[in-house]
């Protein structure tokens, strides 16, 4: 038999994939909103901490180099 | 569950979401979570992982809310983000099994059957690059149209067809190495 005749056809491959990787059963009533809220809270808390550090750094910069204040105001 | 936000018109809801209102986001989340989750499951083929990816999708949606154009359909936008998240999850998963070669799957001499065959096919499939795996899962297993896959991936139909073609080629190559096919 010629090589091309032995080749797995696309339809055979699809069928093999479907058998090896069957559909995942879905839980229709799943409610992911509580997990979403936790994720939002975690991220908000993390951003708050970052914001505070950033604010501290900016404040320190302004205290140490007050000469840049007029330049910043001019840029604004 | 009805919320106050649901009494508003969809466009109004999406405008309020884009403005950062949490109750509008909750309404959109509840309205679209099942659809997004089902889409991600079709790509990842793993329920618990798909739940994590759904949360990550909506987190990205929430972060990108200011860029959302309320004149466009929220569901299509969400699906596109979900597809990108699913591909990121596939990449992370493939890094976890990096170093594992398809030829490591134990096979009996001669043609393999049933369980070994399914294991070999799963292994070959999981070794596809993430973008090809996503396209192959949607096209070859789920039989989604190329146009729908193209919209979700944000690429052309021709590019989708090319990915599917490359997936088939790589799968055939892997399965030949496993003696699943000549």
Tell me what pLDDT residue B160 has: 97
Can you tell me the distance from the alpha carbon of B90 to that of B126, in angstroms, rounded to the nearest whole number?
9
Give the E-state strand segments of B68-146 in sequence order: none
pLDDT at A44 over 80: no
Confidence of residue A67 (pLDDT cuts 50, 70, 90): confident
Comparing alpha-carbon positions, the chain A residue that sits nearest to B172 is A8
Can you tell me the distance from the alpha carbon of B108 to that of B180, in angstroms, rounded to the nearest whole number?
11
CA atoms within 13 A on the CB side of A66: 1
Nearest by CB to B122, which of A21, A24, A28? A21
**Which residues on chain A are in Cβ contact (under 8 Å) with B136?**
17
- Interface check for A39 against chain B (CB to CB < 8 A): the answer is yes
Handedness of CA B37, B43, B44, B45 (dihedral sign): positive
Rounded percentage of chain B residues whose pLDDT exceeds 70: 81
- Interface check for A4 against chain B (CB to CB < 8 A): the answer is no
Q: Answer yes or no: are the C-beta atoms of B32 and B75 closer than 8 Å.
A: yes
Count of other CB atoms within 10 angstroms of residue B15: 16
- Asked if A26's CB is within 8 angstroms of B47's CB, the reply is yes
- Interface check for B161 against chain A (CB to CB < 8 A): the answer is no
- ipTM for the complex? 0.76
Q: What is the pLDDT of residues B69-128, one digit of tens each?
A: 878 899 999 999 999 999 999 999 887 655 544 444 444 444 455 668 888 899 899 999
Angle, alpha carbons B66-B69-B74 (nearest 5°):
100
Rounded percentage of chain B residues whose pLDDT exceeds 90: 65
User: Which phi-psi region, left, alpha or beta, contains residue B110 (left: φ > 0; alpha: ψ -120 to 50)?
Assistant: left
Can you tell me the distance from the alpha carbon of B133 to that of B87, in angstroms, rounded to the nearest whole number?
8
- Asked if B168's CB is within 8 angstroms of A10's CB, the reply is yes
pLDDT at B139 over 50: yes
Least confident residue range of B16-20, B92-96, B138-142: B92-96
- Asked if A8's CB is within 8 angstroms of B181's CB, the reply is yes
């Amino acid at each position: 038999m010629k090589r091309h005749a032995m080749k797995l056809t696309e339809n055979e491959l699809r069928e093999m994939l479907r058998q090896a990787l069957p559909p995942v059963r879905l839980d229709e009533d799943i409610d992911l909103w509580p997990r979403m809220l936790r994720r939002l809270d975690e991220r908000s808390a993390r951003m708050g901490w970052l914001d505070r550090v950033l604010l501290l750094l900016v404040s320190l910069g302004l205290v140490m180099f007050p000469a840049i204040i007029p330049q910043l105001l001019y840029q604004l | 569950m009805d919320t106050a936000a649901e009494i508003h018109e969809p466009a109004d809801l999406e405008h309020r979401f884009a403005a950062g209102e949490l109750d509008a986001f909750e309404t959109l989340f509840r309205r679209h979570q099942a659809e997004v989750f089902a889409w991600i499951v079709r790509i990842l083929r793993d329920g618990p992982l798909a739940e994590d990816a759904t949360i990550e999708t909506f987190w990205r949606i929430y972060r990108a809310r200011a860029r959302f154009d309320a004149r466009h359909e929220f569901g299509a936008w969400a699906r596109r983000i979900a597809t990108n998240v699913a591909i990121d999850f596939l990449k992370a998963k493939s890094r976890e099994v990096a170093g594992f070669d398809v030829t490591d799957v134990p096979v009996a001499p001669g043609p393999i059957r049933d369980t070994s065959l399914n294991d070999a096919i799963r292994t070959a499939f999981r070794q596809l690059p993430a973008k090809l795996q996503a396209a192959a899962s949607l096209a070859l297993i789920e039989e989604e149209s190329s146009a729908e896959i193209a919209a979700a991936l944000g690429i052309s139909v021709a590019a989708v067809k090319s990915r599917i073609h490359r997936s088939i080629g790589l799968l055939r190559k892997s399965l030949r190495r496993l003696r699943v096919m000549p």
